[in-house]
Every structure is written in structure tokens, then in C-alpha cells.
């Protein structure tokens, strides 16, 4: 299933990527066979920018990598869970762990890639994607009918 959204009469590739991911039936598994999804993500848009928030508890900013390849934003982590454990114990129930991941989003044309910044605080990665000045929403002019 592929989803396409329209924003101001244009297809928003960022919106489409997010929705296509949500409706994707593909699920990754790690080496131990546990199901692992990508870290949860929120995307916020206002008239000046997009903000991408990625929940990555257990990681430090040094574990994360963010790159721009053309119009593709790639967020990844290579940190793997520490394997050393006392031989006397084993998991009897397991719902979380730290697994490597990679997420990619196609950026809309209105993003000013040169001004993109990122910050990391309390397990939340925030990527700030400002819009180019010429792409920012203009105020709507109401025209009276004569």
C-alpha cells in the first residue's frame, strides 16, 4: 500500500514516507530473532520549518549518525547491546533492547538543507529542518467581490 498526501496542492514526500512506513508490513528481526521496529518518530511542521523527533533511549549522541544525501535524510545507529552477561541468568521475558537501525526520509524541496541542525537531550533526537525563505507560507489575501 502506498500513501500520497497533498500539501498546498503539492505532494509532500515527507508525509508520504511517514505514512508508507506506518502501513508497511515489513518488520525487521535482530540476530536473536526478536522483532525490532525502528525507534518511534514524530514530525512537526509549522510555517517556518519541519522538526523530526526520534525517541532513542539508551543511546548517546555519539551513537547516532545523521546525514543528508541529496534530498534524503538518513538517521542511523550502529550501537549494539552489550552481549556479556552472567552465565547464571537468562531472559525469561524481553520487550526492549538496543539494536542498530537506519531510517530514511525524502525531504520536501522547500527544506533549506544548509541550515539543518540537530540536538539530543534525554533520549530524544531533534532534527530542525528550516524552510527556504521563498518556500515559507505566505499570508492569505482575501479579495472582495465587486
Q: pLDDT tens digits, residue range 24-54?
A: 544 444 444 434 567 899 999 998 999 999 9
pLDDT of 28 reads 47
pLDDT of 10 reads 52
State pLDDT tens for residues 78-96: 876 655 555 677 778 877 7
Percentage of the residues of the chain whose pLDDT score is greater than 90: 42
Q: Which of 16-25, 78-87, 135-144 has the lowest mean pLDDT?
A: 16-25
Residue 59, C-beta contacts closer than 8 angstroms, at least 6 positions apart: 77, 79, 98, 123
For β-strands 101-106 and 117-121, DSSP reports them as unpaired
The predicted model scores a pTM of 0.65
Amino acid at each position: 500500500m502506498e500513501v500520497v498526501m497533498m500539501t498546498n496542492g503539492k505532494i509532500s514526500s515527507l508525509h508520504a514516507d511517514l505514512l508508507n512506513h506506518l502501513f508497511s508490513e515489513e518488520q525487521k528481526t535482530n540476530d536473536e530473532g526478536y522483532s525490532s521496529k525502528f525507534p518511534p518518530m514524530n514530525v512537526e511542521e509549522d510555517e517556518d520549518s519541519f522538526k523530526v523527533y526520534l525517541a532513542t533511549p539508551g543511546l548517546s549522541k555519539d551513537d547516532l549518525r545523521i546525514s543528508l544525501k541529496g534530498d534524503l535524510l538518513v538517521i542511523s545507529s550502529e550501537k549494539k547491546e552489550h552481549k556479556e552477561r552472567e552465565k547464571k541468568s537468562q531472559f525469561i521475558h524481553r520487550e526492549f533492547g538496543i539494536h542498530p537501525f537506519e531510517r530514511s526520509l525524502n525531504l520536501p524541496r522547500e527544506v533549506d538543507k544548509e541550515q539543518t541542525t540537530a540536538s539530543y537531550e534525554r533520549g530524544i533526537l531533534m532534527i530542525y529542518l528550516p524552510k527556504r525563505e521563498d518556500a515559507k507560507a505566505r499570508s492569505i489575501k482575501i479579495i472582495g467581490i465587486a
